[in-house]
């Protein structure tokens, strides 16, 4: 397990600080019972909110942000009826409140108040109107900027929460893998490398393969083509079954076994789709790697846990998550 992620050091510091203030301290305060599905959403939302728009992990703004985001997330699978009282209508109202918050932040930053080195700031700088006021078709409107921010928040929230949950489950069920991972991270700490070399190990890749958090990808055929005797016409919607690919015994022998070392060897192209592949690969891949790597280092080096329920059932929503939310008894090492 010697793969390494080396990123921008200031970014790691910011993410570690956000995690410490808004995530890991929460785990400590919740001894002895802890559910990653229940608690990780708070952690992941605070971290991604801090990274994208420098939102502090505590305070009134954070509470408004989290409350509206929760309503938006719960409305994803609702029928698209914009009628008062429906989940869809509540989701639209929450989205508009989020947009109002972003309008306020964007306005203040354009006035020179509170410059931040984050994703939103980069959008504002890159897509500000020219001094002469002339429109530029390549620049985003404020609505498009807000859509981009909200898209990243949604895409990086539920998926990371699910990944952290499955990670704890698979490590708990495979103590020899956990011990090896713990020793690796302890060695990193002993060498004083801190956050500069966070391990993006085979454990994470195997977790994403074994759990397959996003079970399918939908694509639109850009042209007519034929595959294995089947003709696909331009414009058709094509759904890729990622679960079957990740559990194909010809590609991954004994696919139901959690075996991280299978990633020591080169894989066949497009056989591992934890973050998708090609031009439509997940745009938040590096942030997700960094976030999970920080979490796993603190997890492995500071805590031990015991599952309170044995249940391998999967809840099939927009993402694949443990049906019982994987409640555990957490203790410090």
Annotated binding-site ranges for heme: 282
Binding site, residues?
282
Rounded Cα distance between 285 and 291, Å, is 10
Rounded Cα distance between 67 and 54, Å, is 17
Quickly count: other Cβ atoms within 10 Å of residue 244's Cβ.
Answer: 12
Quickly count: other Cβ atoms within 10 Å of residue 23's Cβ.
Answer: 23
Q: Is 18 helix (H, G, I), strand (E, B) or coil?
A: helix
How would you classify residue 3: left for phi > 0, otherwise alpha for psi between -120 and 50, otherwise beta?
A: beta
Torsion angle defined by CA atoms of residues 162, 167, 168 and 173, in that order, rounded to the nearest 10 degrees = 130
- In whole angstroms, how far apart are CA 122 and each of 66, 92, 166, 185? 23, 27, 33, 33
Q: Residue 1 contacts by C-beta under 8 Å, 6 or more apart in sequence?
A: 180, 181, 184, 199, 201, 202, 203, 260
Backbone angles phi, psi at 331, to 5 degrees: -140, 150
Rounded Cα distance between 31 and 330, Å, is 6
- In whole angstroms, how far apart are CA 24 and each of 36, 170, 299? 12, 20, 9
Ranges of H-type helices in 236-326? 242-246, 285-302
């Amino acid at each position: 397990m010697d793969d390494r992620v080396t990123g921008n050091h200031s970014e790691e510091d910011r993410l570690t600080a956000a995690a410490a203030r808004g995530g890991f301290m929460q785990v400590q305060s919740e001894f002895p019972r802890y559910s990653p599905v229940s608690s990780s959403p708070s952690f992941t939302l605070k971290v991604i909110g801090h990274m994208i728009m420098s939102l502090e992990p505590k305070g009134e703004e954070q509470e408004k942000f989290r409350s509206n985001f929760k309503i938006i997330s719960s409305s994803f699978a609702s029928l698209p009826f914009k009628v008062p009282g429906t989940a869809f209508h509540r989701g639209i109202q929450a989205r508009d409140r989020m947009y109002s918050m972003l309008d306020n932040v964007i306005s203040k930053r354009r006035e020179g108040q509170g410059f931040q080195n984050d994703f939103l700031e980069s959008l504002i700088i890159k897509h500000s109107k020219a001094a002469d006021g002339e429109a530029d078709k390549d620049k985003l409107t404020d609505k498009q900027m807000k859509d981009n921010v909200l898209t990243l928040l949604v895409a990086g929230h539920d998926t990371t929460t699910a990944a952290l949950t499955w990670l704890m489950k698979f490590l708990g069920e495979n103590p020899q893998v956990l011990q090896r991972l713990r020793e690796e991270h302890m060695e990193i700490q002993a060498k004083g490398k801190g956050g500069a070399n966070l391990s993006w190990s085979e454990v994470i890749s195997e977790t994403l393969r074994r759990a397959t958090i996003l079970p399918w990808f939908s694509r639109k055929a850009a042209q007519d083509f034929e595959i294995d005797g089947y003709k696909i016409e331009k414009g058709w919607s094509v759904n890729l079954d990622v679960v079957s690919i990740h559990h194909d015994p010809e590609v991954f022998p004994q696919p139901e076994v959690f075996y991280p070392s299978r990633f020591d060897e080169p894989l066949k192209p497009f056989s591992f789709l934890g973050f998708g592949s090609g031009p439509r690969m997940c745009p938040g891949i590096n942030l997700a790697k960094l976030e999970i790597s920080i979490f796993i280092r603190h997890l492995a080096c500071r805590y031990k846990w015991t599952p309170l329920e044995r249940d391998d059932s999967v809840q099939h929503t927009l993402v694949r998550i443990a049906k019982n939310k994987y409640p555990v008894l957490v203790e410090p090492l």
